[in-house]
Amino acid sequence: MSKRKSAALLLTGILLGTAISGPAVRAGLQVGPSSQKFYANGEQVQLQAYNINGSNYVRLRDVGKAAGFEVEYDAATDSVYIGGRPTEESRLANGEAITEENVLALLRDIEEQWPTGTVWGDRSTPGTYKNEVPSTEADRVMRQYGVSSVYGCSGYAAMVSSLLFGDSTNAAHRLDDLQKMRPGDIVFWISNDTGKTAHVVIALETPDQEGRFHITDGNHGETIAWPDPQSPYGRDNLDCYQGETAAFHLEVWTRYPEDVPCTGDSAGAWRTGNAK
């Protein structure tokens, strides 16, 4: 019998036990410690059990611990969760579903709010903007690289990531395959000589077949930079960060849920002068 079925049968027994415990039948109950042995997944377990009118009754939490499923009580909603809470579909900060198309649309909105040329530098930059958006998850990633989630290029990347994916939702994880980079991913330039972070940017698209992709950049000469829509140049290239002679390598973190696959449809999606 499966764990799920066993748990369901046990819960049925508990509910029945609750049903017969009313005042009308309480006087007729025969209650005592159970003398029977209990097994979970083929191994004997010790459970505090009672025999009530010939049926065994045990605590659901004890069975969950023995059988390996979670039992949680939420006092706020007076609810019991067996085997975990219901999963909710992950959403972007604006409530839309997490797709590359929706992320691209949000990035276009962010470009309008924070256009090219906006002053964005470090603490010493006169008149600079800084990240004032709650960025719990982005900050967790930045801390791993010893960089700020408030000022400079990393602060800008943290802000954009949070405006896209939210404050603490959509946990980030590092990509193993850079070809699966997607719009909104956080890209770290790591010095191959020192191992330190040299720069942090946000990807705007998946690399194309030649490894080219657009980025948006904070603290680009102490200003924000987006791709020039009229320029036939400006895409970064994965080839520049590979091989023994490369000065830097890339490390990419994504906040797309693992069950949302990379489609590749956003390759070349940030149209500029070199779009065919």
Confidence of residue 84 (pLDDT cuts 50, 70, 90): low
Q: What's the pTM?
A: 0.69
Question: What angle in degrees, to the nearest 10, is found between the helix axes of 152-165 and 136-144?
Answer: 140
| pLDDT tens digits along 217-251 | 999 999 999 999 888 778 888 988 888 889 999 99
| Confidence at residue 72, expressed as pLDDT on a 0 to 100 scale | 78
Give the residue-averaged pLDDT of 5-9. 44
* DSSP state letter for 184: T
CA nearest to 250, candidates 175, 173, 189, 184? 189
Percent of the chain with pLDDT over 70: 86
Banded pLDDT at 14 (limits 50, 70, 90): very low
Alpha carbon distance 85, 88 (integer Å):
9
C-alpha to C-alpha distance for 112 and 106, rounded to whole angstroms: 10
- The domains of the chain are located at 3-82, 100-254
Q: What is the pLDDT of residues 94-132, one digit of tens each?
A: 999 999 999 999 999 999 999 999 999 999 999 999 999
Question: What span, in angstroms and rounded, lies between the C-alpha atoms of 190 and 246?
Answer: 11
pLDDT for 205 equals: 96
